[in-house]
Structure 1
Amino acid sequence: MTPRLEAVTPRNFETAVALRVRPDQEHAVAPVVRSLAEAYVHPDGVAWPRLIVDEGRAVGFLMAFFDIDWHGDGSLYRSGLWRLNIAAGEQGRGYGRFAVESVATEIRRRGGTRMYVDWHAGPHGPAGFYTRLGFRTTGESDGDQVVGVLNL
């Protein structure tokens, strides 16, 4: 496995929006096209959408956020993993871990010391994945999502 991240461009846009998670996970993560729309409406580099590519094929998508105004009032800024979509046939091969590690590296490069993520807590949700990587819940929620943090 030699995955890498690629910026989403006009050349790979169709590939990005065609990525699908397993049907039983669709309720827990937004489709890539919604993530790209959200990236577009958040100015100043807050959103960082990337394809996860391995051996010439797209295996997943991630979108990180950097210094987002968490409460919308300027009182708290956070960075972390906003979305993670690993293609249905590619799960369980280490691409999710690669994605988390890549975002953590970028946050550290930008001077951050914590990485945040939120996840769907229901059936087929990714809680176990994130806790195995060292995230701990903060006690907060973001809508119906559990908020987790990883100290870097």
Structure 2
Amino acid sequence: MTTTSALRLEEITPRNFEDATGIRVRPEQEFAVAPVTKSLAEAYAHPAGVAWPRLIVDGERPVGFLMAFFDIDWRQDGTLFRSGLWRLNIAAGEQGRGYGRFAVESVAAEIRRRGGKELHVTWHTGPHGPEDFYLGLGFRPNGETSEGEIVGVLELS
């Protein structure tokens, strides 16, 4: 596991765009997470402030990408708003070093800063999916599914 002293999140800019779009998960994980290019397109398509795309950098090395969402209209009817982790892509050769945990902790800190009390995430089940990772961090399925994925929630205190 790496130390967090060199880890940081960077806003996606023209300077690091190629680094961000170059992040690739393992081939057997591609079913479980969209590529960074799709995430950036979705971020652009949503109103300002909803999507929060960030490059995960260790020192000067890009190691992953995350995209959080804040106060998204979960039911699309104005009755339920949630915040959480939309995407998490850790580069194939960088997995198992604590970068995913750092990403989740960073999103949790940002949600707390904005006054939120829960962090939501969805995941695919099955081999090579992220379920064990999220459960290990304390997420618990809340009984819902979204587009065929399990919805998990982490209570923030």
The alignment's TM-score, normalised by the length of structure 1, stands at 0.99
Post-superposition Cα deviations, 1:40-98, rounded to whole Å, max 9, x if no partner, equal: 00012100000000010100000000000001000000000000000000000000000
Shift of 1:10: 0.6
For 2:27, the equivalent position in structure 1 comes to: 23
Residue 150 (structure 1) aligned with residue 154 (structure 2): yes
SS of residue in 1 equivalent to 2:44 = helix
Distance 1:15 1:40 in 2: 18
Q: How many pairs are equivalent? A: 152
Distance 1:118 1:110 in 2: 21
For 2:40, the equivalent position in structure 1 comes to: 36
- RMSD of the TM alignment (CA)? 0.6
Distance 2:87 2:126 in 1: 17
For 1:84, the equivalent position in structure 2 comes to: 88
For 2:143, the equivalent position in structure 1 comes to: 139
Quick one: which amino acid aligns to residue 12 of structure 2? Answer: V
Shift of 1:143: 1.1
Q: Percent identity?
A: 72
Shift of 1:144: 1.5
Structure 1: tracts of 5 or more residues without a match: none
> For 1:3, which of 3, 7, 17 is the aligned residue?
7
SS of residue in 1 equivalent to 2:9 = strand
For 1:55, the equivalent position in structure 2 comes to: 59
For 2:116, the equivalent position in structure 1 comes to: 112
The alignment's TM-score, normalised by the length of structure 2, stands at 0.95
Residue 126 (structure 1) aligned with residue 130 (structure 2): yes
